Structure 1
Amino acid sequence: MKSFLTQIKDHFGDGDYAGDEYGGAGGQDGSGLPTGGAGSFMFATGIECSYPTIDHGKTRRDLLAECDHYNRYKEDLGLVKEMGLKVLRYGLPYYRIQQAPGKYDWEFADLAMAEMQRLGITPILDLMHFGVPDFIGNLQNPELPVHFAEYAGAVAKRYPWVRYYTPVNEIYVTAKLSAKDGIWNEQLRSDKAFVTALKHTVAASIMGTQQIARHRPDCIIVQSESAEFTHELRATRTPAIQIENKLRFLALDLLYAYHPDAEVFSYLLDNGMTRREYDWFMAGEPPGYQIMGNDYYGRNEKIVLPDGTVQTSMDVLGWYNITHDYYQRYLKPVMHTETNVFDPNEAPAWLWKQWVNILRMRKEGVPVLGFTWYSLIDQVDWDIGLSQKLGRVNACGLYDLDRKPRPVAEAYKMLLQEYGQITIVPHGELFEVTRKPAVLKVEV
């Protein structure tokens, strides 16, 4: 009697059976450059677009200008395509576009968005990146959510083909550096100013998302938030550092209507949040398909020594462990939304280390949807958090400021060639991004 394998071979040939390409992960191992399909893992880069003010509002740090993107946007977007990438985290210059309530300047935005559309690049559109328009002033202004909501709706109406948004980039970092660390925008240093900035930016994100959803009910919201942790190496812990490790969740707690613990709740009430405001945040999640983006740089993770010295820990916990804490808290699909190192010789190894973290997370069944090397081109003065305008180049891009590739560009191309067609998660067809509007999610 013939083996069933012989029967199959006689009828269907020796492997690569017709029809197999429709099953599993496309019937293949996931290698090859990204296709951009709805069920595909989102390999991305970003164009650094921060625009906070320093010097008490007198100096605007616009990284799109300082890295010459306004003049070279076609070249830059062409490099995204040349890399083989289909997805780009991209921030329009909010402070330049919304010049006053109801008054907009779309000139540059229209040019850049048209070029992205021509090249077939999917933008994750970043609407507020560390700064606000001059007429709003700073993050202490309670009118911020209303003005930003109007802006977000105007963007969604003008570019109806865009589906992916980051309404407010790194809300926690925005509020902390502006109102607690005294570096950007209002440059205040108090817990009350921090809570005020935080509640205004979270409210802006929520209201902005609602306006986006009016035009795109099927919008996908990629919340990019910094993955932080501070290790305190003291026998007796310091209350300020311990609560800081709780406050790192606060922006997402308010955004996702997750009740923080009693200590954090008391902190909010002690520093100006009213019960009415708190109840408003806890009423429910904003609309759209919510993706929790976690940004991780080695410098996000710090060690405090017994004498109070603070040093960068670089990967004691790493993206996997820190992000896993966030995932268990919110149970949202995950994206690695930013990473880099400032030493271009170390960058390829750092890229592979981040990818190992992602593979480990995927192996455990966590729905990881994408990865981002941030950014496409080198940055300026991020080693000092943009606190002074020194013009010092940070060699963290896939390309330098002359648009010449750095070693990490070749490493990323190798990674894309090997993994570019993997699905969003293992058995990712179950998580394929549908065209239906998001619906209310009910816990059972």
Structure 2
Amino acid sequence: MKDFLYHITKKYGDGNYDGDQFGGAAGHNGSGFPDGNAGNFMFATGIECSYPTIGNGTVRRDQLRECGHYERWKEDLNLVREMGLKVLRYGLPYYRIHEAPGKFNWEFADLAMAEIKRLGITPILDLMHFGVPDWLGNLQNPEFPIHFADYCRAVAERYPWVRYYTPVNEIYVTARISAKDGVWNEQLKTDQGFVTALKHCVAASIMGTQQIASIRNDCVIVQSESAEFIHELCAAPSAATRLENELRFLSLDLLYARAPSATVAMYLLDNGLTRQEYEWFMKGKPPGYQIMGNDYYGRNERIRLPDGSMHLSMDVLGWYQITKEYYDRYRMPVMHTETNVFEEADAPMWLWKQWINVLRIRKDGVPVLGFTWYSLIDQIDWDTQLGEQNGRVQACGLYTLDRKPRPVAQAYKDLLHEFGQITIVPYGEMLEMTDRPARLKTQV
């Protein structure tokens, strides 16, 4: 007697059965360059756009200028399309656009945004990247949040087709390097300066998001923040290190209305946060659809030896384990919003290692919406956090400053070709990104 397979193959063929192409054995495996489908995973790059001041406010470190983007913006945007990418983290130069209260210069922004729209690129619009206009002074200015909110509204009104925003990039890093490490902007080295800068940046992000949502009620806010950790190799870790490992959550605690620990709360109150300000932050999350972006460089993870010296650990825990801590704390959808290494030869494998982290955390049930190699073009002087004007090029881009591809560009294309059409989560075709206005304020 013939078995059932004999009868099936006799009637239907060798296995490519009618209908199987619709998610069955012959269905699509998610490979192929991104096609822009709303439910697909977002593969992105970014154009480095930092513009803090150094030298007590006398020198503006504008990476868009130093890396030639103002002259080669059209070429750069076409490189994004050449890579096969549909998503770009893009920062408009806030300090150049917002010339005075209520006064905006859109000359460069209009050119770049029109080209982004023409190319069919989805921008994640980065509205403040480490610096403010000269007329605002620095991050210690309590009027900064209201003026920034005006700017956010003006941007949303001028480009109503934009849905994705990062209002204030890396709030914790902005405040720490400006007011605790003494490198940028106000160049303070005090706890009170740090708390003041941080609370102003978080307030600016909240108020800016409110203004964006009033224009675009389905806005998606990708809050890019550094994924940090310090390993202290001592039998009894110090109170200072324990505090540092708690402070890394502080910007997101205030932004997402998650009460910090008693130790951090006392630190805040000791260093200038008032009870009234604290209660204001704890009222609830900002509007819109919120995504917790985690930036990870091996440089974010450090080791403190028994002698007190600090060293880079480069991937002891990695993006997956550190981000899982953040996810368990906030239960927010995640995006890997920045990564790179300075060494050209190491970049392709670093890219694949980061992607393994993304695949692993997805397998563990964490919703990850996207991945970003940052940046498109090489950067300058980030080995000193822009604190020194040495003109040293960091070979961390997909392309050189001459716009020639580095090996990591081909590696990224290979990754895109293999995974470019996967969905945000498994079976994500049933869970498309909605364009309805954001409504629910809690996750149950």
TM-score (norm. length: structure 2): 0.97
CA pair 25-129 structure 1, distance change in 2 beyond 3 A: farther
Tell me which amino acid in the other structure corresponds to 1:61: R
Q: How does 1:36-435 map to 2 (within 5 A)?
A: 36-435=36-435
Residues 25, 423 of structure 1: 8 Å contact kept: no
Using the alignment, how far apart are the partners of 1:42 and 1:62 within structure 2? 27
User: Cα 1:13–1:406, aligned 2, differ >3 Å: closer, same or farther?
Assistant: same
Query: Cα gap change, 1:16/1:45 in structure 2, threshold over 3 Å: closer, same or farther?
Result: farther
Task: State the alpha-carbon separation in 1 of the partners of residues 183 and 10 from structure 2.
Answer: 69
**Which contiguous aligned blocks of 4+ residues in structure 1 show a shift greater than 4 angstroms?**
4-9, 11-14, 23-26
Partners of 1:212 and 1:219 within 8 A in 2:
yes
- Higher mean alpha-carbon deviation, 231-240 vs 321-330, is at 231-240
SS in 2 for 1:376: coil
1:9 positional shift: 7.5
Q: Secondary structure at the match of 1:345?
A: helix
Cα distance in 2, alignment partners of residues 260 and 26 from structure 1: 50
Cα distance in 1 between the residues matched to 2:261 and 2:114: 46
Amino acid at match of 1:412: Y
Question: What is the CA–CA distance in structure 1 between the aligned matches of 2:210 and 2:20, rounded to whole Å?
Answer: 42
Distance 1:304 1:66 in 2: 34
Task: Give the share of equivalent positions with the same residue, in percent.
Answer: 71
- Alignment partners' CA distance in 2, 1:132 and 1:25: 54
- In structure 1, C-alpha distance between the alignment counterparts of 2:308 and 2:12, rounded to whole Å: 74
Instruction: Compute the displacement of 1:27 (Å).
Output: 3.3
- The residue type equivalent to 1:3 in the other structure is F
Distance 1:66 1:273 in 2: 37
Deviations 1:275-314 (A, max 9, x none): 1000000000000110000000001000001111111000
1:88-143: CA deviation from partner (whole Å, max 9, x where unpaired): 00000000000001100000000000001111110000000000011111000000
| CA displacement at 1:234 relative to structure 2 | 1.3
What letter is aligned with 1:147? H
Tell me by how many angstroms 1:389 deviates. Answer: 1.3
Distance 1:157 1:362 in 2: 36
Aligned 8 A contact 1:213 1:287 in 2: yes
Which residue number in structure 2 is paired with residue 3 of structure 1?
A: 4
Structure 1 residue 236: deviation in Å?
Answer: 2.5
1:291 and 1:141 mapped to 2: Cα distance?
Answer: 28
**Which deviations, in whole Å up to 9, do the C-alpha atoms of 1:320-346 show, x marking residues without a partner?**
000000000000111000000000000
How large is the Cα RMSD of the aligned pairs? Answer: 1.7
Instruction: Say which SS state the counterpart of residue 125 (structure 1) adopts.
Output: strand
Q: Which shows bigger deviation, 369-378 or 12-21?
A: 12-21
Give the SS at the match of 1:346.
helix
Deviations 1:353-410 (A, max 9, x none): 0011001001111101110000000000001000011111000000000000000001
Q: How many aligned residue pairs are there?
A: 443
How far residue 242 of structure 1 moved from its aligned partner, in angstroms, is 1.1
Moved more, 236-245 or 5-14: 5-14
Instruction: Write the distance in 1 (CA, Å) between the matches of 2:6 and 2:84.
Output: 39
State TM-score, norm by structure 1: 0.97
**Residue 437 of structure 1: how far off its partner (Å):** 1.0
Unaligned runs of 5+ in 1: none
SS in 1 for 2:434: coil
The within-5 A match list for 1:13-28 is 14-15=15-16, 17-18=18-19, 20-21=21-22, 23=23, 27-28=27-28
Once the 2 structures are TM-superposed, how far is the Cα of residue 266 of structure 1 from its aligned partner? 0.6
Cα 1:259/1:9, change in 2 over 3 Å: farther
Shift, 1:18, TM fit = 3.8
Secondary structure of 1:369's match?
Answer: strand
Name the CA distance, whole Å, in 2 between partners of 1:389 and 1:204: 29
CA contact (8 A) 2:31 2:420 kept: yes
More deviation in 44-53 or 386-395? 386-395
Q: 1:156 to 1:19 in 2, by over 3 A?
A: farther
Separation (CA, whole Å) in 1 of partners of 2:106 and 2:92: 10
1:322 maps to a residue whose letter is I
Mapped partners of 1:349, 1:381: distance in 2: 23
- SS of 2:124's equivalent in the other structure is strand
Q: Is the 8 A contact 2:302 2:313 kept in 1?
A: yes
Aligned-partner Cα distance in 2 for 1:182–1:86: 37
Instruction: Classify the secondary structure of the residue corresponding to 1:174.
Output: helix
Corresponding residue for 1:34? 34
Change (3 A) 1:253 1:25: farther
* Partner SS, residue 369 of structure 2: strand
Going from structure 1 to structure 2, the CA distance change for 1:6 and 1:57 (only over 3 Å counts) comes to farther
Q: CA 1:24 to 1:49, structure 2 compared with 1: closer, same or farther past 3 Å?
A: farther
